[in-house]
Structure 1
């Protein structure tokens, strides 16, 4: 092997690519459902009989998927590094956005769980028919805090997702250097 030739990993492992795209679809659905259901009138039966239970179930699923993704990523030795062809600020911004997104992908569902656990009128958090234990005491004052945090962090996550997608599309279609195409690593 040539000493000057550097071995690079071009694509993420199949397991991480699959987890990424499944989670992306679920998170997109959760963001849409959360926005849609909170805008619905409380008299609409489907708001509490359909939207909230499914939102909670898929929220728990998204939480479990991101924990799985973090574990797989931690135990996978060959993860692609930021492309050397990107500008240093782009590499730094990419790392920062990715880390904050991972943090929010854990925090947002925890705030949602905390909302359901503390709300006095909540019937709990169901995970596709299984009633999960409520670890926090009922307290509507805390519910208001968790509700605000869930909303603020969810919108922050949405903004970072938009930046993430915009960055990937910029590198794929706008950059003059085709080696900057980061999207191919996830396809």
Structure 2
């Protein structure tokens, strides 16, 4: 492995999960409507038309891929963090570990909210989704900081195939 690049599996999982999370966010409304209908006593089932099954399959897929990515992260070398002030490095580390935690826990919380059913767990899942969006924005802002403000053009290249 290069000191400055992630391995191909790291990159593939990063971008695949990013795309799946973007799709999940874009189509979350279908699951929210299905969840609300369930709590109003409207029988909707897990049909494709409700969006619930799509959301559940995508969420489970993200969770499985994140467990794989965590295993890879813990068992292979990764490039060292770029030079940055200590606060920025701390925020970066926290952001990445929160990504792992949220994207592994959220499918379990979503399943529990649906199958128990639990309004409290559903609310926790919804709050976690807002936190996830904030982390995504912070992650993109961090990459932009390194690229455009700190002038460290290698940060984005670390996660790109070429």
- Kindly indicate whether residue 124 of structure 2 is the aligned counterpart of residue 149 of structure 1: yes
Number of positions where the alignment pairs a residue of Structure 1 with one of Structure 2: 151
Q: Note if 1:21 corresponds to 2:19.
A: no
Alignment of 1:1-187 (within 5 A): 9-35=3-29, 37-38=31-32, 49-50=48-49, 51-76=51-76, 78-83=77-82, 85-119=83-117, 143-175=118-150, 177-178=151-152, 181-187=154-160
Q: CA deviation at 1:174?
A: 2.6
Which residues of structure 1 form unaligned runs of 5+? 1-7, 120-142
- Aligned-residue RMSD, C-alpha: 2.2
Over alpha carbons, which structure has the higher Rg? 1
- The alpha carbon displacement at 1:105 in A equals 0.8
C-alpha distance after superposition, 1:38-58 (max 9, x if no partner) = 368959x8x953311111011
Structure 2 residue runs of 5 or longer lacking an equivalent are none
Structure holding more helix per residue: 2
Higher RCO (C-alpha under 8 Å, 6+ residues apart): 2
TM (norm. structure 2) is 0.84
